[in-house]
Amino acid sequence: MQQHYNQKFDLTNCDKEPIHLIGKIQPHGLLFILNKKTLHIEQASGNTGDFLDVAPTEVIGKPLETLISPHESTVLMQQLLASDITKVQLIRLRGKQFLGFVHESSGKIILEGEPYEPITADEALRNFKILGEQQSAINQLDTVESITGSITKAVQSITDYDRVLVFQFDQDWNAAVVAETRKPGIHSFAGHHFPATDIPKPARDLLRIKPVRHIPDVLAPAVNILYPTSTPDALPVDLMQSEFRYPSEIHLEYLRNINAFGSLSISIILEGKLWGLISCSNEQAKFINYWKRELCDQLARACANKLISSHEKRNYQRFSEFKHIESKLVEQVACSDDIIKGLFRHPLNLLDITGATGAAMLLDNRIETLGVTPAETQIKELVEWLSKKGSDTVFYTRELSRDYDAAASYTDTASGLLALEVSRYNREYLLYFKAEIREKRIWAGNPEKFFSDDLRIHPRKSFEQWEEVIKGKSLPWSVNDVEIAQLLLKDIIAIRLRNQALRLEELSEEYQASSEGYKMKNKQLEDFAHIITHNLRSPLSNIQALYSIYKSTPNDADIPFFLEKIKVASDNMMATIDDLYVILKTRVGYQVRHEVVNVEELVDKEIQNLSAAIIQSGAKLTLDLGVKRLRSFKLYLESIIHNLLSNALKYSAPERAPHVKITTWRDKDSVYLSVSDNGIGIDLKKYGSKLFGLYKTFHPNYNSRGLGLYLTKMQVESLGGSITVESTAGSGTTFTVALGTSEATSVSSSKNR
């Protein structure tokens, strides 16, 4: 027979220790690992002979019937092959009664046996009474301390352990003692904290899956699980749900260091998450039978249910208060002509709906602050970090400097941050801040102090009171804080959209008025044509007449006279032209304004605007922007990019995913922009001469009006450029825009989307 080898672990790697694969059990029970199909015994604990009159070597490889009578075999087979084999069962092995703990793991059936200790009717009634009385008692309580305090007293009365504690985990998995019941003379840990390293992640995972963990004797030797020498590569089976799994050596050493030689822990699980732990310890070895362990587990569940209901009740009451204030704040904003003014510049403001100590909002290229906040430059840098951070639209932390290094310089004003994204593209955010709290935390010993024997690092030996001042953290953000802030943001965005809709209506009305104005201007232009005809015809006719007269009777003496007359007529005509130019400028009054345009931002903006079409079509976009900035008319350039990109997506080939490439480059004094696709293409022989015509379309069954290319050509030419096209029907199209400018700067860059 062989036993499983265990790798050595200490505090340097205990967070990775596979304690569910330890290959050993505690000696107060026995264990068999069965083949699921045949129920043959494949592995057995080395203490089998201590409970049964047979050695483990005599049963390994044999059918389970080796341990039971034919009659018992039939009953046990039915139990083991039942659909639900996770409940405790009463079983007989070799004529002896055991509490059988059965579960499936790693494709095997794990059968564990604990010697059966019968419970009397009086004990059963007493346990039922304790459970009922305790449930009634905690139903009258509503704080964490009072609920858990009541539970520790009940558990201590049931188990008679020297000390019973309730730990509550924080978000970093440090454990705070929130309740304690102890016998006289036993050292108190009330109000103390224990670091997360005391209960590392593998142990926490086990506590969530296997809520009850009993170690009757810390000094008891481990019992190896044996397997045949014929299977030397046999691996330890996962014992995560085992009743008798042997503890980690690190944990046993830890228990010895706190003078605990018998222990029982029961997990407090709230909505599937490990909230805390009922921890029982004794200065002497102590075995607690299954019935008492089960009663303690029921009390832990009752505690969890009460904590959930109390928490929900407090949350609901607090949320109702916040919601009432939020509704008034939204009404205030709705009645204001400015969102920021409505949120910040009234007695009722943003700080009234959370526990924040400061707030800031970046909206419409403005920044407004309230309460205690970082400086504006620091807020802008923070927003820049948030916009690049990732996809979270809501981000919150009580220790900002841990995620964002620059925040270390203003922890006193903003250790905590709750950030809600309004528009990442426009760098618009709603920010809440919480100031630092200097929390004095009492640890059960120095949490970072361990000792070494030069080979392994061991748990600390001292658990004397050790004080630490926690810096750089704020009070935590509650669920209410986050939810009410999200609700406010939703309402603010709704108001903003309403305001934008009203503004669009105003613009529409202005457009209608402008339309009437353009009609008038058209009439004025007709008048202008008449003015040209009338005002220029007279001087031109006069010049022609003078020339005819001179031509009919040429005389050198008359030349000065005719030249003077022609000069007067010419001056009059020039004055008339000058007047007409002034009139034209006044009547038309529109100029194309050039500025430095960021091409990359325009492309990114249009990609965002067309994100739905890109996602639906599965399009791949490739950008190769050799020129990122140029001087042009931004409105026209944006429209050109939009029309060419939207056409590339609209006229994609149904049999393949769209691939669109946008390229810019510089050649001498011209800058070029091209948009290429692999779509259905255009028959240029058939439609080339009509391609940029008004209301001309070339593909049936597409939602086309024939305006895009017409407008694009007009806008390109207004910018002093030209547009060309190359296309093959069925293969794709490339539009190339040439813009003449000497101010474009060429910076090579490419990326795929």
pLDDT in tens, 165-189: 999 988 788 888 889 999 998 988 8
Q: DSSP states of 454-470 as a string? A: SS-EE--S--SEEEEEE
Spatial separation of the C-alpha atoms in residues 514 and 519, rounded to whole Å: 8
Percentage of the chain with pLDDT > 90?
22
Minimum mean pLDDT range among 223-232, 308-317, 717-726: 308-317
Q: Which residue has the higher pLDDT, 197 or 722?
A: 722
What architecture (CATH level 2) is domain 595-752?
Answer: 2-Layer Sandwich (3.30)
pLDDT of residue 244: 92
Q: How many CA atoms does the CB half-sphere of 155 hold within 13 Å?
A: 36
What number is the average pLDDT over the span 731-742? 83
Q: What are the DSSP E strand ranges found in 351-436?
A: 358-363, 366-371, 394-397, 416-423, 428-434
pLDDT of residue 286: 95
* Digit-coded pLDDT (tens) for 484-508: 888 888 888 777 777 777 767 777 7
**In sequence order, what are the residues at sequence separation of 6 or more whose Cβ sits closer than 8 angstroms to the Cβ of residue 227?**
1, 2, 3, 4, 42, 43, 60, 234
Given CA atoms 35, 36, 39, 41 in this order, what sign does their dihedral have? positive
Q: pLDDT category, 479, cuts 50, 70, 90?
A: confident
Q: Using alpha carbons only, give the angle 649, 654, 657 rounded to the nearest 5 degrees.
A: 60
Q: DSSP states of 9-78 as a string? A: --TTTGGG--GGG--EE-TTSEEEEEETTT-BEEEEETTHHHHSSS-HHHHTTSBGGGGS-HHHHHHHHH
Q: Which residue has the higher pLDDT, 442 or 387?
A: 387
What number is the average pLDDT over the span 222-244? 78
Fold of 496-588: Helix Hairpins (1.10.287)
What number is the average pLDDT over the span 498-525? 67
Q: How many CA atoms does the CB half-sphere of 714 hold within 13 Å?
A: 9
Q: Which residue has the higher pLDDT, 150 or 39?
A: 150
pLDDT of residue 455: 46
67 φ/ψ angles, rounded to the nearest 5 degrees: -95, -10
What number is the average pLDDT over the span 645-658? 87
**In sequence order, what are the residues at sequence separation of 6 or more whose Cβ sits closer than 8 angstroms to the Cβ of residue 651?**
677, 679, 680, 699, 702, 733
Q: pLDDT category, 106, cuts 50, 70, 90?
A: confident
User: Do the bridges between strand 273-282 and strand 163-169 make them parallel or antiparallel, or are there none, so unpaired?
Assistant: antiparallel
One-letter amino acid identity for 191? G
One-letter amino acid identity for 663? T
pLDDT of residue 481: 81
pLDDT at 678 over 50: yes
3-state SS class at 363: strand
Spatial separation of the C-alpha atoms in residues 111 and 77, rounded to whole Å: 12
Spatial separation of the C-alpha atoms in residues 103 and 682, rounded to whole Å: 68
pLDDT at 2 over 80: no
**In sequence order, what are the residues at sequence separation of 6 or more whose Cβ sits closer than 8 angstroms to the Cβ of residue 742?**
669
Count other Cβ atoms within 10 Å, centred on residue 569: 19
pLDDT at 583 over 50: no
Spatial separation of the C-alpha atoms in residues 252 and 213, rounded to whole Å: 13
Spatial separation of the C-alpha atoms in residues 617 and 351, rounded to whole Å: 45
What number is the average pLDDT over the span 46-68? 89
Task: State if pTM tops 0.85.
Answer: no
User: Do the bridges between strand 620-625 and strand 659-667 make them parallel or antiparallel, or are there none, so unpaired?
Assistant: parallel
Count other Cβ atoms within 10 Å, centred on residue 465: 13
pLDDT of residue 664: 93
Give, as one character, the DSSP assignment of residue 397.
E
Q: pLDDT category, 587, cuts 50, 70, 90?
A: very low
* Digit-coded pLDDT (tens) for 406-446: 999 998 888 889 988 888 778 888 899 998 886 656 655 55
Spatial separation of the C-alpha atoms in residues 25 and 80, rounded to whole Å: 21
- In terms of Cβ atoms closer than 10 Å to its own Cβ (0-12, 13-18, 19+), residue 577 is middle
3-state SS class at 340: helix
Q: How far is CA 188 from CA 182, 183, 196, 209, 462, in A?
A: 8, 10, 20, 29, 14
pLDDT of residue 45: 92
Spatial separation of the C-alpha atoms in residues 727 and 683, rounded to whole Å: 7
Spatial separation of the C-alpha atoms in residues 715 and 744, rounded to whole Å: 19
User: Do the bridges between strand 416-423 and strand 620-625 make them parallel or antiparallel, or are there none, so unpaired?
Assistant: unpaired
Phi-psi group of 463: left, alpha or beta (phi > 0 → left; psi -120 to 50 → alpha; rest → beta): alpha
* Start-end of CATH 3.30.565.10 domains in the chain: 595-752
Q: pLDDT category, 324, cuts 50, 70, 90?
A: confident
One-letter amino acid identity for 214? H
Spatial separation of the C-alpha atoms in residues 224 and 4, rounded to whole Å: 7
Q: pLDDT category, 19, cuts 50, 70, 90?
A: low
234 φ/ψ angles, rounded to the nearest 5 degrees: -60, 135
Per the listing, tokens 């009659």 go with 71
What number is the average pLDDT over the span 746-753? 44
Count other Cβ atoms within 10 Å, centred on residue 66: 16
**In sequence order, what are the residues at sequence separation of 6 or more whose Cβ sits closer than 8 angstroms to the Cβ of residue 530?**
none
pLDDT at 156 over 90: yes
Percentage of the chain with pLDDT > 70?
73
pLDDT at 580 over 70: no
- The rounded Cα 551 to chain-centroid distance in angstroms is 92
Minimum mean pLDDT range among 362-371, 602-611, 703-712, 722-731: 703-712
pLDDT of residue 315: 62
Q: Which of 123, 147, 144, 126 is nearest to 135 (CA)?
A: 147
* Start-end of CATH 1.10.287 domains in the chain: 496-588
- The rounded Cα 5 to chain-centroid distance in angstroms is 42
Residue 601 tokens read as 């931002």
Superfamily of domain 336-477: PHY domain (3.30.450.270)
3-state SS class at 300: helix
pLDDT of residue 11: 45
Q: pLDDT category, 527, cuts 50, 70, 90?
A: very low
Minimum mean pLDDT range among 6-20, 126-140, 211-225, 591-605: 6-20
pLDDT at 279 over 90: yes
Q: Which CATH number fits domain 2-115: 3.90.950.20, 3.40.50.2300, 3.40.30.10, 3.30.450.20?
A: 3.30.450.20
pLDDT of residue 426: 82
pLDDT at 450 over 60: no
240 φ/ψ angles, rounded to the nearest 5 degrees: -55, -35
Q: What are the DSSP E strand ranges found in 394-494?
A: 394-397, 416-423, 428-434, 439-444, 451-452, 457-458, 465-470
* Start-end of CATH 3.30.450.270 domains in the chain: 336-477
